[in-house]
Structures are given as C-alpha cells and as structure tokens.
Structure 1
Amino acid sequence: MANLEEDLKTMVRIFRRECHRILESERTTIRGADGMIAVLQLVMAELNKEETGEFGVALSDVISAWKHLLWDKSDLPQDGALRPLNYDVIRREYDSFLKRTNTVDLIDVHGMYERLRGDSDPQNPVCSVQLLRFLSGGSETCERKESVPPCPTTPSSKPGRCSSQGLKRLFYSYLELLVNTRNDLALARTLDVPDRALGRVAFTDLKHAARANSTSLFLAATSFVRAIQLGGKGYAPPESHPLRKHLKGLSDFVHFTDNLEELLGEIPDPSVAGAKMVSSIRAALLKGRSGGDPACGAVEEVTRDLKERISLICAAQREAACCSGISPARPKAYAINHATAYGGREAVKLLVALLDEEALAPPCRNKAVLLSQDLDALDGAGGTTILTLFRSPEAPTGSSPKPLQLRIQDRQDRAKPTISTPTLRIFVHTGPGVSVMMETGVKMACISLHAAAPKRTTIPQGEEGEEQSTGEFSVETEGVEMEGAVQRAALGSRSANPHLAGGLGAQDRASSGGSRGQAGSKACKRKEVDGSGEAENQPPQKRAPKAKAVSTAQRPGAMGKSTKKRRLIAGQATLTSFLRL
C-alpha cells in the first residue's frame, strides 16, 4: 500500500519535471479516477443526444465503457469482454475533451513518464497492471477512511448533512481555476456555489457563448464581464446578448476569482498565499450562514485539512530545493516588471503539487453516488448534478397545452379527407357598373359583369312594332356543371328601366305615337317576367337580329341619338318604281 503510493508520487513528480518538453502548457492538470469517469459520462451523454436527441446515459453503460477504456488505454488484452457500442467514437471524444480542457489522465501520465524519465530515475515504478487495479478500485489503497454505503443512495434516503468529500472537491475546483482556467468541470462546480443566481439557464447561455467563440467557459465569462466594464458603446456587447440578464452573477464570480489571483501573485510566501486563498473561499461559502448551520462545521473541517496539507507540501518543496543545491528559478532578463514575473510562481507550484496529490487519491468505490452527487455541497436537500447542469433546459413555448378532448378532436379533423369544391363564374354582358352576388347550394359565387357596351337588337313586340333591347351574357363553370341552379342572370338584362338596361330614349317613345301609357308599361313588365320564367331552367339563347329591324341608335356615328321615322307621302312609291324603270 505505502509502496504503491510512493511509486505513484514519483511517477507524477518526474512527469512534472519534464512535461514542458511535450506539453503545450506547464499548467496542465491531471485527472484522477473520479475525474476520468465524470468526463466519460459527459461524453457519452453528448453522443446520445446527437443520436437520440436526449442528453443522458445509463449508469450501466458508463461502467461498461469505463472498464473497457481502462484496458484499452493501458494496452492490455481483454479476453471475452464485449466491446461497447460506438466505442471508437467515445474514445475519440474522450481524448478530445481532455485536450480541449488542458488536462491529462493518469494513464497518459504513465505513458509520458516512460518517455521522459532520465537515466537516474527508477526504471518502472508502476506497471500497467498495478495502475489498472488502482484506477478500477481493486487495490487495497482504494479503501476510504469514511464509511461507504453498501448500495446507491436514493433521493429519499439522502442524508441531510453536507458531504465532506463534495466540499473538498469544491475547494479544489476553485484552486484549479487559478492554475488551469480551461477546465470546464471546475467552473461548472464553482459557478453557482455560493448562490449567485447562475443556474442551468445561465450555464447554458455561457456554454453557447463559449462554443460560438471557441473558448473555454471561464474565458467566455471573464471576457464578457471585461467588455461590459471597460468597453465603450461600440465595443460593449449589445443589450440583446443572452448573458446580459446574468450580468450581476457573472460579475460576482469574476470579481471573486480576481481576488484569489491577487492573493496568488502579491504574497511572496507560497504557504501564506495558499492559506489566505483557502480562507477566502471559506468566507465566501459561509457568508450569510449562522453558527448553528450544519454546513459551518463541515466547511471548517475541510479548511483545516487543506491548510495542513499546504504546509506539509511547502515544507517538502523547501527541503527538496535545499538538498538539490539548485537555485530557484529567476525572472527572465527581458521581463519588464521583474516583481510581476516572479510573483506567484512558487504559489502556482504549490497549487500544482496540491492538485496532483488529490488526483492520486483512491477512487470512489460507489460510482452511483459519485456520478449523481449534487453540485451544491452546502445543502443536503439535493441540487443539480454535473449531468443535469450540462443538459440544456427546454425552451418554454409560452402556451399551455390544450385539453385532451380538444387535441383528439383536432387530430380527427386533420385526418378527414378534404374535398375541394369547384367554383362558379358567371359573366353577364350588360351595362357598366353592375355587380351581383348569387348563392349556390355550396358556395357564394360572385358574378363579374363586364363594362363593355352590349350589342342591342330590336325585337318587334305587338302590333305597334315596339322595340325591346336585350344584352349578351355568358356562363363559365370550372370543374363541374350546374344542375338545378336557378339562373336569374337574364332578369338583369331585361330590366324595366330603359336607361339602366340600354333601352331607347324619350324621343323614341314619342315617335311611337304615345299609344302606350301606364297600362302598356305594366303589360310589358308582365311579358318580360313571363318570358324569363319560360327560360328559368334553360340558358337564354341569342336571337338573330333582323336587318330591317336594326335600330338607328346602333349605327356608326349615331350612338345615343334618336331620329323620327320617315313616312311615305301619297304616290311616292309609284313614282319611285317608275323612275327605276
């Protein structure tokens, strides 16, 4: 047990000494067993969302992929083990997540150690099989000091006190943001603890802003707050920006991390700087809480433990520096401000050593508790998990669903076949400015009347040779023939008003000798009605005009004028025939 712990520390120490040769940043942090399985859960949930649309994954699938991942990354053969579905995609996304967050896992550290170790270093302090047993929880070092429940806890049986392990992880997350600001999991645990009104909606908006700019969550938050505080009208984000409504909470978070960075860079003694940073986190967590709160005792316990570990690590670093005889690193000659270049360097080394020691902690044996643990470690009544926080909330529609009866009726109406009813168009050629609406058995059909001047024909009526003008009309149907419809359009062309229907003028009535009075007019109306009744079920036919009966009113150049008929005098016909001979 003790030998394995020392071998792991030796492996990590040599990796830190030579990591600048192969890594892009010296502030790369290490993920232990618990951090590895948390990343695997997020990756699998994201892949399920792309395939099925639901951001979630079963615990059994995570455990199966976790075991296969440990054997695969360690290059150990698996006999009879089933390969998880889409494992190649899961492995690729897992490695991409580690690279994007500037982190490495313990298996990667073991592989880099074999390439980076020197001649004076031990040959192979930890073999692949030992590391696999350690990560899977099969070694004796995985026994926790605290009691582990025999079965996964449920929300109903969850204790009402604070979890010391969750609080310790919260402290380490704040300290890790000072070393590696690209760690999105560390920001997710600290963004809304203590309460800053930055729940799931704020985290989702921050995640979308980070993806749009291809940056980390911490950089997206800090750049937005800096642009608001320092930018002018043309540089500051617009009022419609999604993060505008979370400005107060984001400002509080960025201001708190700025205070921690000031303590990191201004205090030359790393032990004092580490202790003050832990005290600042403690004060923020206990702000507004009474002394009798159960969270106060748990926070005080974690604070004392961290301060003791910081003191031990600082003493070990000083002893190693004195024994080696190597002077500490000095600021470079081209640095403008030497104090700034040197300030905080030892404190960062202290935090890196503290985080590496936490990464080497034995893994949690109860994976169900680990993956479903609430982020809000100060309240034991339940909160938001990592998986729930990364799941985007559903967009509200703003309207409540209809009752079940109405929804069923709407579906039935949509299922009924729709029958298109043909339309009817009737064109009647009469005088200008006339429009008629006629209702058929199905729809209302609009009769469009053209304003063109109709051709009139004079039809002799009775013995006096009266003339009656009629108008042309035509009926057009689309898709179906009218059967049994009453066609009253002919009445419009046989109007009793001669001025509206295009009849003769007053002088024509005078030339007829005035033989018709009021009684004759009524008789004419009755004849028109009788004539229209005969053609009720048949379309009216055009009557061929007679050459001798054409009215002079329709001759060219004589429109609208009325002339008297020429009567022959006595003997005029005989004289005319004689002259022709």
Structure 2
Amino acid sequence: MLVVMEERMRTMARVFRRECHRVLDSERTTIQGADGMLMVLQLAMAGVNKQERGDFGVALSEVLAVWKYFLLDKLQLSHKDIPLPQSYDLIRKKYDCFLKHTNTVDLIDVFSMFKELRLNEDPEEPLTAMQMFQFLFGESESSENVKCQPVCPATPSCKAADCSPQIQRVVRRVFCSYLGLLVNSKNDLALTYTLDNPNRSLGHSAFTDLRHDACKSASSLFLTVTSFVRAIQLGGKGYAPPESHPLRKHVKGLSEFLYFVDQCQDILGETTNPREAGSKLVSSIRAALVKGRSAGDPVYLAAEESTKSLKERIGQIHAMHTQSTVGTGISPARPKAYAINHATAYGGRETVKVLMALLDEEALALPCRNKAELLSEDHAALNGSTGACLLALYKSPEAPTGSSPKSLRNRVLSQQEHIKSKVVRPTIRSQFACTYKEEELPLNRVLEFPSTSQIPTCVHPAPKKANSECDNGMHRRFKEATNLRCDGPGQSTLGEHSGNAWNQAGGKSTQPEQPRRATGTLKRKLANRECTEQGREENQPPQKRPPAKAATGGPGKRNNKAVGKKLIAGQGKLTGFFRL
C-alpha cells in the first residue's frame, strides 16, 4: 500500500512540475513537504502570538492541535468534532503569505491543482483527500524504520550505527537546502539551514539582523545578503553601507557564505553534463560540512552517507530523463512544448530540471514521526548547541534592560584601568624647569591626599641655635640670587602665573620670607647681619669678586695688617665665630 501511494504522489508531482507554468508566475517554485509545512505553521502561530500577546512563541501541544485542524480544513474534509483554534484566520493568512513570499507551495496545493493541470492521458485522481490527510498527519501505516535502517554487516565495528537518524535527517536537509537555494533563491527556510552550516560565526544575532534588514527592504534573505555584500565589494566609498549598518559586524561570515554559493553557481553554469554537475555540487557541500571533523564524527558519517545516496539518485533521475526523451523519438533540438523555456532557465538547463526533480522527491518523503524532536531540537543537530531550534532562531534576542551585566568588582577594576590610562608619566626636566607650564598633580598624590589641605609641605622646625639661623639665612640669600630678578616685592618678571618645579611639588616659595623678630640679644642680631653681608659677597659673580692671594710667611704683625686692609667690618669676628 505504501509503495502504491508513493508512486501516485510522484505522478501527481510530475504533472504539477510539467504544467506549473500555466498557474504560477515562476517555474522555480519549490514544494514544501510535510515537515516543512509543520515548521511554517509553527512560525505562523508564533507570529500571531507576537501580534496579540507580545511574545514570539507557541507551545508544542497547540501546534499539533492546530496542525490537525489545518489539514482537514485545507483538504475540505469534515472537522466538526475539532474545536476552532483561536485566531485561526490570522494563522492561515500568515501561513499563505509565508509560502507566497518564499516562492513555495505545499503538498496540499499540489494536490488541489492536479485536476486543473492534468491532461487526458494522465490518471484522474491518483490520491483521495483522506489518503492525503493520513499521509501528512502520519496515521498511515509505514515501514519507515525498516526501510530507512541501513544495512549493517555482522561485525561489531559498524560505523553507520554511530550516526543517529536525527543527524542523518538534518544533514540530508542541509544538502537539499543548498541545492534548493540554487534553484529557488527566495526560499528563506533553505537559507536558514545553510547560513551557519558549516560554522561561519553567523548565529542568532546575525540571523536576527539579517531578517530585520530583509523586512525593511521587503526582500528575501538571500537577496538581502547578496545586496549587502555586493555593495561593499563593488559599491565603492560612496555607495557602500555605512559603518553603523547592523550587518557590518557580520560581513566576514556573510562574505564566506556568498562566496561558497557563487562557487556552486559556477559549477551549475559551467558543467553541461547533469550527472557530473550534480556530483560536483554534492561533493562541494560535503567538503564544506566535514571540514575540521574527524572520520568518526557523526556528522562526518552522515555526510558521507548522504553524499553517496544523492549522487546515485541524481544519476538515476538523469537516466530517466534521457530515456524519456529518446523513447518519444523527438530530437533534442525540437523538444516538447512544455519543455521550452517559458520564463526562466528551467527548460534550457538540464541540470536544473534534475535538481528540481530531486527536490520534489525529497518533499514527498514520509514525515518525521517525532514532532517534538523536529520542532524543538532539529536545528541543533549540527552545531551542537542545546535548546536551539528553528523557532528560537527566528525569535529576536531580548532587548537590554539597562542594568550592567558585569559584577561590581569587574566594574571597579575597569574604572581603575581607565584612570591608570590617563596618568601623566613623570618626565626628566632640565635646569630651566621654571619655564615649564604647570601640570596637574600626579595620580598618587591625588589618591593619597584627596584634600588640598592634606598636601604635605616642606616645613622645617624653627632653629634653636645661632648656627642654624645663620645657615637658614645663607640658604635664603642663595635662593634669591639664583632666582629671576624681581621688579618688586612678591612679583616676578614672567608674571604672576609663572613658577618652577619646586613650587609645583609643594615646596618653599621663591618669594623671600619676612624676617622674624629677634627675640635674642643684640649680639645675636649683629651676628645675623654679619652672616647676611658675608653671604651677599660670596654670591657675587666670579668676575666681581676680588682675587684671593695666598698668605705669605713672615712676621705675624705684617700679615695681620695686610689682612686687615682687605677685610670688611665684622668679617674677622665672623670668621672667628665659624671657627668655634
């Protein structure tokens, strides 16, 4: 029974493909199988919930309930026992819009158009509506497990047993999605499975940005990728997308994806033999999927098995087309009327016809029995991410709430790094340091002394001995002599704002301090005055200082007289004071 049903469905699809140019705008229209129909219905229900409730999501039980009602309603069967789902009209409208936007039709549309498209020599009704419902809903008895189970040798080292049926199904869908994208570039589901398989760093964020950009331009996902990458490569500086474009951060992965599709397009256009072209295309897809994987990887094994089976099937389809053409006695130069190229390259390129026949057979495959696995975890079989599915991929990421995702410790450390980057390194200054512009205090001064009142200053204790007072006086006069000449008390010739490194570091001021009131005896005042006069004479330039003569030996009286002539008043007394 199953073999008869499959043969009838192939006949129905063959008639549709032959006469579809009469009812459709494009001959590149592809067919969505049972699994594809269920995925599109799930996305349509999630979109309706987004409009009504604000949440893009739907429960699996709700999808299965609407799925049964949807099949009965579209096949025009009785559905009185099943309650009407909520917002069913909006779900049906969004479902039809998705198919029209992606240039695809489902199996029920093919079944409905068969009566209109069939010719006299074609069978009247290969299938009934109830048989179609049982096939799509999965109620028909099938030997899927027996048929799909690979023949394994008796040895325990069987590599095919390591590959699960889920991975085999997903890998084969990726192969067919690449081939379907070459035939129908508007198929968004095909691009969904091929965009990040193999891994091109085009995850959830990249797919969301791509989908939003496609919605703004009202175009397909593949056309959006092509327009963006071509504008960057060929548009030049004036026509290239700006740096603020959302897809700018994914330009590398999108360029790799488009480059691979261009390579497949070159194989499709340059190879004239359909069998050879199909073999090259399948081998290129297989090489991309198994790159970087070991021979024992489940994806590697599934890719090897899918490559072998697809090459064999492409050869069989090409042989069938060749026999049908030769058996009719019609020359290839004068094909049948329906084989003429009506609007696209369908009739003029044999490889495209072979690929479309292969995709039609894949759409007629038995539906997946585990619906939860198909809708919840099917998309995660290749990349290994847990919880990823087609619905989660179409769902936009959550908007940021404004709260920092980093902990307090990380934020403090990042702020400290930002402050350290602004620290001015201490530089080595020359003897003309007084001419440099004043800068801000170093960061260590700011951190250790946050208040200006706590900045340390070089304050020396008051002197207790005459020696200390004399030293302080000589030091002060030495600073006055080395500083710039002042026009008046407390003013410098460079202005009020000029200074030197000593003042900047918080040391003593260059302005002369007011002398303290003497609290000692008259003798101490006289000693201070003599110290001041002695320091003034010693600080004179070398050319103005009187040359010192070496003392000659002789009578003490003569030497004292000679020295007395050159000494100033009080100098002898001061000299004796320092000798103490």
Following the alignment from structure 1 to structure 2, what is the Cα–Cα distance between the partners of residues 329 and 387?
48
Name the structure 2 match of 1:282.
Answer: 286
Following the alignment from structure 1 to structure 2, what is the Cα–Cα distance between the partners of residues 256 and 343?
26
- 1:248 to 1:24, Cα distance in 2 relative to 1, 3 A: same
Name the structure 2 match of 1:173.
Answer: 177
Name the structure 2 match of 1:444.
Answer: none
- 1:342 to 1:360, Cα distance in 2 relative to 1, 3 A: closer
Tell me the amino acid that sits aligned with residue 63 of structure 2.
V
- 1:141 to 1:8, Cα distance in 2 relative to 1, 3 A: farther
Name the structure 1 match of 2:302.
Answer: 298
Aligned-CA RMSD value: 2.3
Name the structure 2 match of 1:107.
Answer: 108
Does residue 375 of structure 2 align to residue 377 of structure 1?
no
Residues 32 and 106, structure 1, Cα contact 8 Å, conserved in 2: yes
After TM superposition, give the deviation of residue 401 of structure 1 in Å.
7.5
The CA deviation string for residues 338-391 of structure 1, in whole angstroms up to 9 with x for no partner, is: xx9799711110110000000110111111111113424335563621111000
After TM superposition, give the deviation of residue 100 of structure 1 in Å.
0.6
Name the structure 2 match of 1:250.
Answer: 254
Q: TM-score, normalised by structure 1?
A: 0.63
Q: Helix, strand or coil: the match of 2:31?
A: strand
The CA deviation string for residues 475-527 of structure 1, in whole angstroms up to 9 with x for no partner, is: xxxxxxxxxxxxxxxxxxxxxxxxxxxxxxxxxxxxxxxxxxxxxxxxxxxxx
Does residue 242 of structure 2 align to residue 238 of structure 1?
yes
Structure 2, unmatched stretches of 5+, are 150-161, 336-343, 408-580
The CA deviation string for residues 77-108 of structure 1, in whole angstroms up to 9 with x for no partner, is: 12321111111111111111111110000110
After TM superposition, give the deviation of residue 164 of structure 1 in Å.
0.5
Name the structure 1 match of 2:46.
Answer: 45
Match of 1:388 among 385, 392, 395: 392
The CA deviation string for residues 248-297 of structure 1, in whole angstroms up to 9 with x for no partner, is: 00000000000001101110000110010000001011112233433222
Residues 181 and 187, structure 2, Cα contact 8 Å, conserved in 1: yes
After TM superposition, give the deviation of residue 394 of structure 1 in Å.
1.4
After TM superposition, give the deviation of residue 317 of structure 1 in Å.
1.1
Does residue 181 of structure 2 align to residue 182 of structure 1?
no
The CA deviation string for residues 117-153 of structure 1, in whole angstroms up to 9 with x for no partner, is: 1111111111111111111111124734357xxxxxx
Name the structure 2 match of 1:135.
Answer: 136
Q: Helix, strand or coil: the match of 1:163?
A: helix
Following the alignment from structure 2 to structure 1, what is the Cα–Cα distance between the partners of residues 406 and 178?
47
Name the structure 2 match of 1:321.
Answer: 325
Q: Helix, strand or coil: the match of 1:140?
A: coil
- 5 Å-filtered alignment, 1:319-398, equals 319-328=323-332, 345-380=349-384, 382=386, 384-397=388-401
The structure carrying a bigger helix percent of its residues is: 2
Q: TM-score, normalised by structure 2?
A: 0.63
Following the alignment from structure 2 to structure 1, what is the Cα–Cα distance between the partners of residues 319 and 194?
29
Structure 1, unmatched stretches of 5+, are 148-158, 332-339, 404-581
Name the structure 2 match of 1:212.
Answer: 216
Name the structure 1 match of 2:35.
Answer: 34
How many residue pairs get aligned? The number is: 384
Name the structure 1 match of 2:24.
Answer: 23
After TM superposition, give the deviation of residue 25 of structure 1 in Å.
0.3
Following the alignment from structure 2 to structure 1, what is the Cα–Cα distance between the partners of residues 333 and 232?
38
- 1:95 to 1:249, Cα distance in 2 relative to 1, 3 A: same
Q: Helix, strand or coil: the match of 1:375?
A: helix
Following the alignment from structure 1 to structure 2, what is the Cα–Cα distance between the partners of residues 369 and 71?
24
Following the alignment from structure 2 to structure 1, what is the Cα–Cα distance between the partners of residues 405 and 271?
60
- 1:401 to 1:389, Cα distance in 2 relative to 1, 3 A: closer
Tell me the amino acid that sits aligned with residue 290 of structure 2.
L
Residues 177 and 183, structure 1, Cα contact 8 Å, conserved in 2: yes
Following the alignment from structure 1 to structure 2, what is the Cα–Cα distance between the partners of residues 139 and 8?
14
Q: Helix, strand or coil: the match of 1:99?
A: helix
Residues 295 and 379, structure 1, Cα contact 8 Å, conserved in 2: no
Residues 142 and 362, structure 1, Cα contact 8 Å, conserved in 2: no
Name the structure 2 match of 1:60.
Answer: 61
Runs of 4+ in structure 1 displaced over 4 angstroms? 159-162, 340-344
- 5 Å-filtered alignment, 1:535-546, equals none
Name the structure 1 match of 2:70.
Answer: 69
Does residue 308 of structure 2 align to residue 307 of structure 1?
no
Indicate the larger mover: 162-171 or 275-284. 162-171
Tell me the amino acid that sits aligned with residue 104 of structure 2.
T
Residues 12 and 356, structure 1, Cα contact 8 Å, conserved in 2: yes
- 1:77 to 1:292, Cα distance in 2 relative to 1, 3 A: closer
The CA deviation string for residues 227-260 of structure 1, in whole angstroms up to 9 with x for no partner, is: 1001121111111111111000000000000000
Following the alignment from structure 1 to structure 2, what is the Cα–Cα distance between the partners of residues 330 and 59?
53
Q: Helix, strand or coil: the match of 2:76?
A: coil
Following the alignment from structure 1 to structure 2, what is the Cα–Cα distance between the partners of residues 54 and 123?
46
